[in-house]
Amino acid sequence: MSEELKQAYELKEAFQLWFTQAKENGPEEILQTKETLYAFYEHVKQVDIPEFNKAIKTLQNWQVEILNSFVYNYSNGFLEGINNLTKVIKRNAFGYRNFLRFRAKILLTHKYKKIGTHVG
């Protein structure tokens, strides 16, 4: 329907292909992953879609961290889950008068989360 939409779809697919190959390459071939990322940058610059140019700037700003995620197999997902659950408890509590009780509820909820027991 639209040439720009077609190019945007092709860029999205190219990025998805790069990401899949980067995961398959792993830490052994991180230089190849970096080179293909630079090739993707050039492809985006040639197409010149403003939204993709902005996305490329974000990728370039976080490039070191993105490439490190393929080298080191660490994630902060577990910690983010704990933080999210704590915020939900805080939101549902409408404020505790006693901080020690609030702290105890958080600690007990995280400890017994896997059991499925409702605490408090």
Residues 12 and 60 occupy one common structural domain: yes
* Whether 21 and 44 share a structural domain: yes
Cβ-in-10-Å burial (0-12, 13-18, 19+) of 104 comes to middle
45 in the same domain as 9? yes
- In this structure, the answer to whether residues 8 and 65 fall within a common structural domain is yes
- Number of structural domains found in the chain: 2
Residue 108: per-residue pLDDT: 87
116 found inside a domain: no
Domain with 7, as residue range(s), is 3-71
pLDDT by 10-residue block (mean), the chain, 120 residues: 91 96 90 95 94 94 92 86 89 82 86 57
pLDDT at 114: 61
Residue 103 has a pLDDT of 86
Residue 120 in domain: no
How many alpha carbons fall within 13 Å on the CB side of residue 84?
6
Residue 118 belongs to a domain: no
- 93/74 Cα distance (integer angstroms): 33
